[in-house]
Chain A
Amino acid sequence: MSEERDDPELLRNLDRITRAFHTLVPLNRAMGMELLETGEGRGVMRLPWSEQWLGDPEAGLIHGGVLSALLDATCGIAAFMSLKVPSAIATLDLRIDHLRAAVKGADLCATAEVVRCTRQVLFVRGTIDQGDLTAPIAVATATFAVTP
């Protein structure tokens, strides 16, 4: 994790930009993703349950792509919140391990935090749960490029 920040104004500025940007991301808005928290190199989002998220409607399982969308969004926010100067960022890669079934009827909550930020690349890890933090549904790692 990055060193303790001594610039609360930067954090507030990043938070403000992140929240404004989040409301402008069409997919996030269309899916109803909610930005719950931001912090230094950190983001927390929730995706309320919808029948539209099913991948296997018979077994009642949420499509893996839903988790990917939520994790990409949340890891992106964490990445942005680690910047020293507000910049555009782009996902380079994303790895998701599906640990447990994502079941119908329960909201999805994602938490992401930056593990390392350099001038060019941000390294992030994220988790998704459905209410039980001791039994995560998925874990992810993502890298983002800071675009010039």
Chain B
Amino acid sequence: MTLLDQIKAARASGDPASIAKLIPYARFLGITLAHQGDELQATMIFASHLVGNASIPALHGGAIAGLLETTAVATVIERLDPLVLPRPVTLTFDYLRPGRAADLFAAAQVIRRGRRICTVHVVAWQGEREKPVATANATFLMG
């Protein structure tokens, strides 16, 4: 079974959490996935190695980026059934508020699907979704 097949099987069986376990860097960041109603949401479980500025403390912008990208990829797999594991083309990240030393949640929306390229918008938040920590726009190649 290819990796993509394993991921799709996990998704089909209603166990998106196991998707993140198949991706080593997602494991390193402590990312887990679950459905909240109809929506796939990711959680980057807080751990001290995810911190950037220890004096605040604030989550590292690079860790936040990793969560946003992983969430986008998982959402593309779920929504668009790509032929290959989506590969990033361009990602832009906007850092809106410091990420506190706490779990960080994220969810993505496919805003355009082309034949080979899709565009995704992702939001990451802690307390209120209306006051996000960061957002991203990402394009991926789907095969």
- Contact, CB under 8 Å: A26 / B49: yes
A17 to chain B, nearest CB (A): 13
Choice from A26, A61, A64 contacting B91 with Cβ under 8 Å: A64
User: Please, could you name 26 A-B residue pairs with CB atoms under 8 Å apart, sorted by A?
Assistant: A51-B24, A52-B24, A52-B28, A56-B85, A58-B3, A63-B23, A63-B26, A63-B66, A64-B69, A65-B62, A65-B65, A65-B69, A65-B70, A68-B62, A68-B69, A68-B91, A69-B63, A69-B65, A72-B60, A73-B62, A76-B61, A93-B92, A94-B95, A95-B93, A96-B90, A97-B89
A99 to B52: give the CA distance in the assembly, Å.
27
- Contact, CB under 8 Å: A90 / B65: no
A85 within 8 Å of B (CB atoms): no
Binary contact track B77-107/A, C-beta < 8 Å → 1, others 0: 0000000010111111111001000000000
- Contact, CB under 8 Å: B62 / A93: no
Binary contact track A8-31/B, C-beta < 8 Å → 1, others 0: 000000000000000011111110
A54 within 8 Å of B (CB atoms): yes
Choice from B24, B48, B66 contacting A68 with Cβ under 8 Å: B66
Q: Quick one: closest B residue to A59, CB to CB?
A: B85
Which residues in A have their C-beta under 8 angstroms from that of B142? none
A97 to B54: give the CA distance in the assembly, Å.
29
